[in-house]
Structure 1
């Protein structure tokens, strides 16, 4: 099964491209092979999430894959930090499209035992792909030129799935999505993007970047007050405040099939009863099994 992913993207070129992006995001792009891929976050000076990306390091460029409509804001941010850097930042959204293939072993040209990022031929079309866990089981994000879409989609294995089904699977697996869950403006440690989380997107051993001081302080003290959990309940409001006894204890994300992901206070125990926009829900703490 495969699913079209509404996306936007940036292409960064120039002699300083890797070092420049490295100095902006939480992921260790410099430590990735070529080709390689790392998840990362662009933070503000308070350490809060502005954009989530998967950054592909290639021989001649850095490709930043983002959710739909995210590229213009990130491009504007990056351009503010260009001083003497030899980089060129281009919005490639109109040129490129992306699909997610869930059964990676069925994708012709992709090596399931190979590196996380691969470039290969599919139906005579050059595609860039990365191993991405969107459903609890690693699949493949395939990036390709839009002008080749008809031929490439015809070569994909299985039937086309819905975006709604893909999100239902990720919520069940406990995998956050910064944009769809409405987690922009939070700390990455609070929503499962920390080392050991379901979607690790930070290295504590890389050099400086915007927001790095806050991240280092959180690592040293280990005092994030929130974490990622699930809420069970029917028809829960999305991206709404979670309350208990009239006190705000978190925020809910996207809802599907009786489940929502949520950023919740750590002191809430498994099975705690809360309200999401006035609708009763039950807290379900994530475990390794869930993630």
Structure 2
């Protein structure tokens, strides 16, 4: 459940369920809010699942489990994946290193499963995994003025510059950790983490103190990330092999083995995956799962589509045959085939570039 529900309601929020977590969906005019984020700055309460990993062997343990190298230096982070024995994505994770513990962000519905899986594999290692979702408030600050926004309210530290690096400071009377984002929205971005009992105060500070920021919900988040060409766990990542998504920022092929690495490496060494993620501009808005055609041949399916507030037309991501060589396709919408053009990603060039932008 959101930790700042009263404030969300005061701004006119409509709520929705995402991965079993109650989140703000929108505040009445998501298109207008979207443009406020693209032009200035906005704030969203993020619905992550959160794990803490402690013990002397915590870094080695997690490093051996995930697809990327876990940093050892306090104040650093990485983006990584958990893959099954067939190399398919089970979970994506952000892993942040402090002197005392690892803080791990997961999709909300995956936190308990990851904690259970890891706890069953610790054996004699000094590792303890705890689900701590309810202990933390997590907020995203996005927009071309995001750095200015953070600077206007953060005390005791300067905004972190390196991707996924973090600093500790305060906002008003509340202690916070501020993490530099990896461009998921296509704009400058920061993740602000605080204790749960400070969440409402921190959210209020981020909206109203210093440079004002517009609160936005997950409807806007879906549109921002789609415009940025960012694949998300719920719609694009789950059950896919990383190479199909061109998801190179989550992989370190030089590190030790992890579950599924052999399969992922074999696909990489073959030179190309079976499918790839492409951008489409259909003439009508399709639903997720809609078939994509090249002539009479089915060549893929839509993973996610929105009405782009920037372009004022539908845009979509689709998983299509890797060998697709056509600029004009059709997409099935309400039982009929509608024209769609293949578009380069990202759809929108903002103040930052998504680290998950497909790279083949």
The TM-score normalised by the length of structure 1 is 0.89
1:111 alignment partner in structure 2: 158
Q: CA deviation at 1:76?
A: 2.1
1:202 alignment partner in structure 2: 251
Tell me, yes or no, if the aligned pair for 1:269 and 1:285 is still in contact at 8 Å: no
Choose the corresponding residue for 1:185, options 205, 226, 239: 239
1:130 aligns with 2:179: yes
1:251 alignment partner in structure 2: 301
Distance 1:131 1:242 in 2: 37
Q: CA deviation at 1:16?
A: 0.7
Tell me, yes or no, if the aligned pair for 2:227 and 2:348 is still in contact at 8 Å: no
Q: CA deviation at 1:270?
A: 5.0
Choose the corresponding residue for 2:263, options 210, 214, 220: 214
**1:1-291, aligned counterparts within 5 Å?**
1-30=42-71, 33-102=73-142, 103-107=146-150, 108-109=153-154, 111-112=158-159, 114-115=161-162, 116-132=165-181, 133-156=183-206, 157-179=212-234, 181-194=235-248, 200-233=249-282, 234-244=284-294, 247-257=297-307, 258-276=314-332, 278=335, 279-280=337-338, 281-286=340-345, 291=357
Tell me, yes or no, if the aligned pair for 1:38 and 1:54 is still in contact at 8 Å: yes
The TM-score normalised by the length of structure 2 is 0.73
Q: CA deviation at 1:67?
A: 2.1
Tell me, yes or no, if the aligned pair for 2:228 and 2:346 is still in contact at 8 Å: no
Q: Greater CA deviation, 102-111 or 207-216?
A: 102-111
CA-to-aligned-CA distance 1:229-282 (integer Å, 9 cap, x gap): 112222211244544456543332222111122222122235231324645333
RMSD: 2.2
The total of aligned residue pairs comes to 284
Distance 2:332 2:48 in 1: 29
Structure having the higher Rg: 2
- Runs of 5+ unmatched residues, structure 2: 1-41, 207-211, 308-313, 350-356
CA-to-aligned-CA distance 1:45-66 (integer Å, 9 cap, x gap): 1110000111111111111112
